[in-house]
């Protein structure tokens, strides 16, 4: 009996391997006469796990960019086309490595993504060895700033954001801040820089780091309320603030619980750049969250680009195509995909080394939906000024309204009238 | 040459999960101990190996850069490329340490099994895995907290061609995985294997017959945990780092699904289950369809998860014992007895 089952197992294995080999052989021999030259662009963008909500927005933005490049090439009569291949990197190191391996097997040498610093860190040695150019639209960890590697990043590192938030809160006169942050690479990165900058000014902070996979945060919000109440009774409500470093689901859960506490309604709230998402506002979030944010003067920072024609066009096209508003990081994904395609065209060949060589020059001459993309010596976008936004009602709808700007070079804050 | 990364990805993943699934099969399939904390030992193995190698290399290099930075990771990998013998030695040391630590934790885990069984034990084990993940993510000095620890040089770091390097590592993982498979086969087809089944089927009866049930449980959990830690250590060298968020309960459930699909208490079935699920995971990706020249009009990522869930439901409904159900233990004594019985039957029917 055992021999029989072993035979069945072996036959099953052999059939699977033969089927796999046959399929691959068929694929490899199936060469159609090319009328166009297709270059694959890998999209290692997580659409599950921590990015289940926001990942699809970024993927769609990158897909739209590639579609636009193809339209442009078609109109110009060029035989070149870009073919997007999306792999869900799952927001984990293992998922990112598997996605990169799959893309490498498909012959991809230019990749948009992964999204998080932890994923970028996990694939770094792999892409460096295989000479695959990786353009991350949202990795911000300072520790990944390394010169002459195959990693490029389209968003400034956490250093600028952390500094900006510290300056903003200090500007409004709050000296005691309770930070409630995701306990992951993003949350820890922002909280670390903020703590360093804010305490250097003489401020005091208290950190509550939460597990972003928990799903519900009643204990953390209770702790937040206890600490804020304690400080309010000692220093007064005008001297105390809350800084929320969160993504969509966790952020909304915390805000929906916080609004039930009177003390938490009475102090100023600030947020990381990741809170500047339409998913925090109606219709995607309950109206009471938006009201709470207005009541507490919730403010956040985001790399500013001002309105430019590219940004406006992107917004219009995105809404028309997908019937939803782009998230702030969608702008960066869109630019990352555009830069990837332009770099391949500028290199004149589909080769990781060639693309890596021309990419800084391409970026130096590129102003996209998320602004000017000049890179520093580490291949990261140079820090820019940050827009300060708060929740407002325009034409009966809740929106993020820009009320000022934080200047990166001078560290000054200008609040518009 | 482009197909090679896919083959490497498939068979390295297959090797790692084969070790993990076999260890689960030994504990649960044969001994009836539902160790749903597989990921705990997997994570412990990875952390031990990754942290040990990274620490020794940094100590040797002596550079003054932050331990968890990408710069330090690059330095470690460069050092690995220049020191073939040392990295090979470190690899062996790391595997040994991971197995010892994993085995020791497995032994300690046998204590809850004295008081708990079935679902309660499974829940305790799942919690233990989660506690480890949260600790690893929260306590930065161990493995970089949420940022992770990167730049762990593997045994073939000195090989300049990345494809060759990864192929060699894949072969090494497969060799170790099949080593574990044959070890498990030998174990379960011995008198000890029958003892495991006796403990699984009726603890009280085994006790009455003078078998030391507590010791058997401790032993099998030690062996299974050492194997799981070995898989974790190999994983750390494969991904060249340690990332807390990789050690989620899904790792355990994947190993459990592979075992269930193949057949509990049947190592051949586990091998088949691992192969089927690995091929399913790797060959239902957009990249693979692209290689075949097939354009999928929708995002296949979501469909993959749905099909995977459906597959598990169908297996549980129609093949609850897996594709290759458990079989009687083959020992020379049983074979002799069968032969004798057959002979007697023949004699009795002959005129």
pLDDT of B1 > 60? The answer is no
DSSP for residue A381: B
CA distance B277 to chain A (A): 12
- pLDDT, position B285: 84
Region A206-214 average pLDDT: 90
Give chain B positions within 8 Å (CB) of A184: 137, 146, 245
With pLDDT > 90 as the criterion, what percentage of chain A qualifies?
Answer: 64
Q: Which residues contact A23 (CB under 8 A, 6 or more apart)?
A: B292
Q: How many domains does chain B have?
A: 1
Average pLDDT, chain B: 89
Give chain A positions within 8 Å (CB) of B129: none
Give chain A positions within 8 Å (CB) of B162: 126, 129-130
Homologous superfamily of the A159-300 domain (CATH): Response regulator (3.40.50.2300)
| Token code pair at residue A88 | 């869900």
CA distance B295 to chain A (A): 10
CA–CA gap between residue A101 and residue B289 (Å, rounded)? 14
Q: Tell me chain B's radius of gyration from C-alpha atoms.
A: 22
- pLDDT, position B30: 92
State whether ipTM is beyond 0.90: no
Inspect the interface and report whether the beta carbons of B328 and A1 lie closer than 8 Å.
yes
What are the φ/ψ torsions at residue B40 (nearest 5 degrees)?
-60, -50
- pLDDT, position B298: 74
Across the interface, of B5, B6, B324, the residue whose CB is closest to A9 is B324
Region A64-68 average pLDDT: 96
pLDDT of A50 > 70? The answer is yes
CA–CA gap between residue A8 and residue B253 (Å, rounded)? 25
CA–CA gap between residue A333 and residue A392 (Å, rounded)? 26
Shortest CA distance to B256 belongs to which of B29, B96, B86, B10? Answer: B29
Q: Mean pLDDT highest for which of A342-346, B202-206, B286-290? A: A342-346
Sign of CA dihedral A51, A57, A61, A63: positive
Ramachandran bin of A171, using left for φ above 0, alpha for ψ from -120 to 50, beta for the remaining angles: alpha
Asked, for residue B313, whether it belongs to a domain, the answer is no
Inspect the interface and report whether the beta carbons of B240 and A125 lie closer than 8 Å.
yes
CA distance B250 to chain A (A): 11
- pLDDT, position A75: 95
Give chain B positions within 8 Å (CB) of A28: 3
Q: Mean pLDDT highest for which of A157-166, A168-177, B262-271? A: A168-177
CA–CA gap between residue A177 and residue A195 (Å, rounded)? 10
Inspect the interface and report whether the beta carbons of B6 and A101 lie closer than 8 Å.
yes
CA B6 vs CA A247, B165, B186, B304: distances in Å:
33, 14, 32, 17
Q: Where are the alpha helices (DSSP H) in A172-258?
A: 185-200, 218-235, 248-258
pLDDT of A356 > 60? The answer is yes
Report the Cα A97 to chain-centroid distance in Å.
Answer: 18
CA distance B18 to chain A (A): 14
pLDDT of B308 > 80? The answer is no
Inspect the interface and report whether the beta carbons of A93 and B246 lie closer than 8 Å.
yes
Buried b (16+ CB within 10 A) or exposed e, A134-148: bbbbbbbbbbbbbee
Looking at per-residue pLDDT, the higher value among A185 and B344 belongs to B344
| Token code pair at residue A281 | 């506002």
Inspect the interface and report whether the beta carbons of B279 and A16 lie closer than 8 Å.
yes
pLDDT of A18 > 80? The answer is no
Inspect the interface and report whether the beta carbons of B150 and A124 lie closer than 8 Å.
yes
- pLDDT, position B318: 87
Region A103-115 average pLDDT: 92
CA distance B182 to chain A (A): 14
pLDDT of B329 > 80? The answer is no
- pLDDT, position B301: 73
CA–CA gap between residue A371 and residue A327 (Å, rounded)? 15
Residue of B nearest to A12 (CA): B272
CA B71 vs CA A142, A157, B47: distances in Å:
11, 16, 20
Inspect the interface and report whether the beta carbons of B324 and A83 lie closer than 8 Å.
no
Asked, for residue B301, whether it belongs to a domain, the answer is no
| Token code pair at residue A157 | 């590192």
CA–CA gap between residue A156 and residue B32 (Å, rounded)? 53
What are the φ/ψ torsions at residue B155 (nearest 5 degrees)?
-70, -20
Inspect the interface and report whether the beta carbons of B285 and A87 lie closer than 8 Å.
yes
Residue of A nearest to B250 (CA): A49
- Confidence at A32, pLDDT banded by 50, 70, 90: very low
CA distance A388 to chain B (A): 28
Across the interface, of A117, A125, A187, the residue whose CB is closest to B151 is A125
pLDDT of A283 > 70? The answer is yes
A296-326 pLDDT tens trace: 999 999 887 666 788 889 999 999 999 988 8
Asked, for residue B204, whether it belongs to a domain, the answer is yes
A151: number of CA atoms within 13 Å, CB side?
31
| Token code pair at residue A352 | 């990781």
> Domain of B50?
3-283+321-349
Shortest CA distance to B237 belongs to which of B124, B123, B91? Answer: B91
Contact B234, B173 (CB under 8 A): yes
Buried b (16+ CB within 10 A) or exposed e, B328-340: ebeeeeeeeeeee
**Maximum alpha-carbon separation in chain B:** 91
Across the interface, of A8, A27, A121, the residue whose CB is closest to B70 is A121
pLDDT of A23 > 70? The answer is no
Across the interface, of A107, A118, A146, the residue whose CB is closest to B243 is A118
CA–CA gap between residue A401 and residue A389 (Å, rounded)? 5
pLDDT of A49 > 90? The answer is no
Contact A267, A233 (CB under 8 A): no
Asked, for residue B257, whether it belongs to a domain, the answer is yes
Give chain B positions within 8 Å (CB) of A1: 327-328
- Give me the CATH number covering residue B342: 1.10.3470
Q: What is the 3-state secondary structure (H, E, C) of A142-159?
A: HHHCCCCCCEEECCCCHH
Inspect the interface and report whether the beta carbons of B269 and A143 lie closer than 8 Å.
no
CA–CA gap between residue B219 and residue A36 (Å, rounded)? 63
Quickly list DSSP for A126-192.
HHHHHT-EEEESS---GGG--TTSSEEESS--HHHHHHHHHHHHHHTT--EEEEEEESSHHHHHHHH
- CB contacts < 8 Å between A and B, how many? 173
Region A376-382 average pLDDT: 90
Residue of B nearest to A118 (CA): B147
Q: Tell me chain A's radius of gyration from C-alpha atoms.
A: 24
Shortest CA distance to A165 belongs to which of A210, A217, A137, A203? Answer: A203
- pLDDT, position A172: 95
Across the interface, of A12, A122, A187, the residue whose CB is closest to B272 is A12
Across the interface, of B146, B147, B291, the residue whose CB is closest to A105 is B291
pLDDT of B296 > 80? The answer is no
Give chain B positions within 8 Å (CB) of A88: 301
Mutation target vs B (from A49, A87, A93; most B CBs, 10 A cutoff): A93
Mutation target vs B (from A47, A102, A116; most B CBs, 10 A cutoff): A102
Inspect the interface and report whether the beta carbons of A187 and B269 lie closer than 8 Å.
no
CA–CA gap between residue B276 and residue B258 (Å, rounded)? 8
- pLDDT, position B165: 93
Contact A303, A273 (CB under 8 A): yes
- CATH code for residues A37-157+306-385: 3.40.50.2300
Buried b (16+ CB within 10 A) or exposed e, A46-65: bbbbbbbbbbbbbbbbbbbb
- pLDDT, position A28: 52
| Token code pair at residue A115 | 């999204």
pLDDT of B25 > 60? The answer is yes
Shortest CA distance to A400 belongs to which of A333, A325, A346? Answer: A325
- Confidence at B316, pLDDT banded by 50, 70, 90: confident
Q: Which residues contact A119 (CB under 8 A, 6 or more apart)?
A: A44, A46, A89, A91, A92, A93, A95, A96, A113, A139
What are the φ/ψ torsions at residue A79 (nearest 5 degrees)?
-80, -5
Contact B281, B257 (CB under 8 A): no
- Helix/strand/coil for A240: strand
pLDDT of A194 > 90? The answer is yes
Give chain A positions within 8 Å (CB) of B151: 125
| Token code pair at residue A207 | 């950190």
pLDDT of B22 > 50? The answer is yes
pLDDT of A33 > 50? The answer is no
Across the interface, of A27, A117, A213, the residue whose CB is closest to B293 is A27
Residue of B nearest to A142 (CA): B69
Across the interface, of A8, A85, A141, the residue whose CB is closest to B286 is A85
pLDDT of A204 > 60? The answer is yes
DSSP for residue A402: E
Contact A47, A91 (CB under 8 A): no
Can you give the pTM of this predicted structure?
Answer: 0.81
Quickly list DSSP for A260-317.
T-HHHHTSEEEE-GGG-SGGGSTTTS-HHHHHHHHHTT-EEEEE-----HHHHHHHHH
What are the φ/ψ torsions at residue A342 (nearest 5 degrees)?
-60, -35
Residue of B nearest to A6 (CA): B268
Do strands A204-210 and A176-182 pair parallel, antiparallel, or not at all (unpaired)?
A: parallel
Give chain B positions within 8 Å (CB) of A111: none
Average pLDDT, chain A: 89
- pLDDT, position A21: 57
Partners of A77 in the β-ladder = none
pLDDT of A16 > 80? The answer is no
CA distance B268 to chain A (A): 7
Q: Per DSSP, which regions of chain B are E strands?
A: 149-150, 241-242
Contact B149, B70 (CB under 8 A): no
Least confident of A312-316, B130-134, B312-316: B312-316
- Confidence at A8, pLDDT banded by 50, 70, 90: low
Inspect the interface and report whether the beta carbons of B147 and A117 lie closer than 8 Å.
yes
Burial of residue A79, with CB atoms counted within 10 A of its CB: 0-12 exposed, 13-18 middle, 19 or more buried: exposed
DSSP for residue B246: G
Q: Which residues contact A227 (CB under 8 A, 6 or more apart)?
A: A178, A206, A208
Across the interface, of A56, A86, A121, the residue whose CB is closest to B286 is A86
Residue intervals of chain A classified under CATH 3.40.50.2300 are 37-157+306-385, 159-300
- pLDDT, position A318: 95
Inspect the interface and report whether the beta carbons of B239 and A93 lie closer than 8 Å.
yes
Region A157-175 average pLDDT: 92
Asked, for residue B305, whether it belongs to a domain, the answer is no
Looking at per-residue pLDDT, the higher value among A302 and B93 belongs to B93
Q: What angle do CA B263, B268, B274 make, to 5 degrees?
A: 70
pLDDT of B272 > 50? The answer is yes
Across the interface, of B162, B239, B240, the residue whose CB is closest to A130 is B162
Inspect the interface and report whether the beta carbons of A143 and B241 lie closer than 8 Å.
no
Give chain B positions within 8 Å (CB) of A143: 66, 68-70, 147
Inspect the interface and report whether the beta carbons of A102 and B3 lie closer than 8 Å.
no
């Amino acid at each position: 009996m055992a021999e029989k089952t072993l035979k069945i197992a072996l036959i099953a294995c052999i059939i699977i391997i033969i089927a796999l080999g046959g399929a691959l052989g068929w694929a490899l021999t199936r060469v159609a006469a090319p009328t166009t030259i297709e270059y694959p662009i890998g999209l290692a963008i997580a659409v599950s796990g921590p990015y289940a909500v926001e990942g699809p927005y970024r993927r769609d933005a990158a897909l739209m960019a590639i579609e636009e490049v193809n339209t442009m090439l078609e109109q110009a009569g060029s035989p070149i086309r870009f073919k997007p291949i999306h792999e869900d990197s799952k927001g984990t190191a293992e998922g990112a490595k598997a996605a990169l391996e799959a893309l490498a097997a498909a012959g991809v040498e230019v990749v948009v993504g992964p999204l998080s610093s932890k994923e970028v860190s996990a694939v770094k040695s792999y892409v460096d060895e295989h000479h695959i150019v990786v353009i991350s639209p949202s990795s911000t960890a300072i520790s990944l700033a390394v010169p002459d590697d195959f990693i490029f990043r389209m968003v400034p590192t956490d250093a600028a954001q952390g500094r900006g938030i510290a300056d903003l809160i200090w500007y409004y006169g709050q000296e005691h801040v309770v930070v409630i942050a995701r306990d992951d690479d993003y949350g820890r990165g922002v909280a670390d820089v903020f703590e360093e900058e804010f305490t250097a000014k003489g401020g005091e902070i208290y950190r509550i780091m939460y597990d972003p996979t928990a799903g519900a945060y009643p204990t953390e919000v209770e702790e937040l309320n206890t600490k804020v109440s304690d400080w309010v009774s000692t220093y007064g409500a005008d001297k105390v603030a809350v800084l929320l470093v969160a993504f969509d689901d966790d952020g909304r859960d915390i805000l929906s619980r916080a609004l039930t506490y009177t003390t938490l309604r009475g102090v100023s709230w600030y947020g990381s750049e990741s809170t500047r998402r339409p998913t925090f506002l109606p219709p995607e979030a309950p109206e009471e969250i938006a009201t709470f944010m207005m009541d507490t003067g919730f403010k956040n920072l985001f790399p500013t680009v001002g309105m430019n024609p590219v940004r406006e066009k992107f917004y219009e096209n995105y809404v028309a195509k997908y019937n939803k508003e782009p998230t702030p990081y969608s702008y960066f994904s869109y630019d990352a995909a555009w830069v990837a395609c332009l770099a391949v065209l500028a290199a004149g060949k589909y080769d990781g080394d060639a693309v890596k060589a021309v990419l800084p020059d391409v970026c130096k001459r590129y102003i996209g939906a998320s602004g000017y993309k000049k890179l520093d010596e580490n291949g990261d976008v140079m820090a820019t000024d940050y827009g300060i936004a708060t929740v407002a009602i325009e034409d009966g709808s809740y929106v993020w309204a820009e009320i000022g700007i934080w200047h990166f070079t001078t560290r000054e804050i200008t609040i518009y009238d | 040459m482009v197909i090679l990364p896919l083959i490497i990805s498939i068979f390295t993943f297959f090797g790692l999960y084969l070790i993990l699934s076999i260890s689960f099969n030994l504990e649960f399939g044969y001994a009836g101990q539902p160790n749903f904390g597989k990921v705990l030992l997997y994570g412990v193995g990875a952390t031990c190996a990754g942290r040990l190698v990274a620490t020794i290399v940094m100590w040797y290099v002596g550079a003054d850069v932050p331990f968890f930075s990408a710069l330090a990771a690059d330095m470690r990998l460069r050092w690995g490329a220049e020191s073939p013998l040392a990295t090979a030695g470190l690899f062996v040391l790391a595997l040994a340490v991971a197995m010892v630590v994993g085995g020791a934790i497995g032994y300690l885990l046998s204590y809850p099994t004295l008081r708990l069984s079935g679902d309660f034990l499974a829940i305790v084990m799942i919690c233990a895995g989660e506690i480890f993940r949260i600790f690893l993510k929260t306590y930065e000095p161990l493995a970089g907290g949420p940022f992770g620890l990167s730049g762990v040089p593997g045994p073939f770091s000195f090989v300049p061609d990345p494809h060759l390097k990864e192929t060699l590592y894949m072969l090494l993982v497969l060799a170790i995985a099949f080593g574990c498979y044959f070890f498990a086969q030998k174990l379960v087809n011995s008198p000890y294997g029958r003892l495991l089944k006796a403990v699984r089927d009726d603890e009280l009866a085994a006790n009455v017959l003078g078998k030391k049930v507590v010791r058997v449980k401790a032993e099998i959990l030690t062996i299974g945990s050492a194997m799981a830690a070995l898989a974790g250590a190999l994983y750390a060298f494969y991904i060249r780092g340690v990332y807390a968020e990789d050690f989620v309960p899904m790792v355990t459930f994947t190993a459990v699904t592979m075992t269930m699909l193949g057949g509990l208490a049947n190592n051949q079935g586990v091998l088949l289950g691992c192969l089927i699920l690995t091929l399913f995971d790797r060959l239902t990706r957009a990249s693979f369809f692209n290689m075949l020249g097939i354009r999928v009009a929708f995002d296949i990522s979501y469909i993959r998860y749905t099909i995977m869930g459906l597959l598990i439901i169908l297996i549980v409904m129609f093949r609850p014992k897996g594709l290759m159900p458990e079989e009687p233990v083959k020992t020379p004594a049983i074979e002799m007895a069968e032969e004798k019985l057959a002979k007697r039957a023949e004699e009795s029917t002959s005129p």
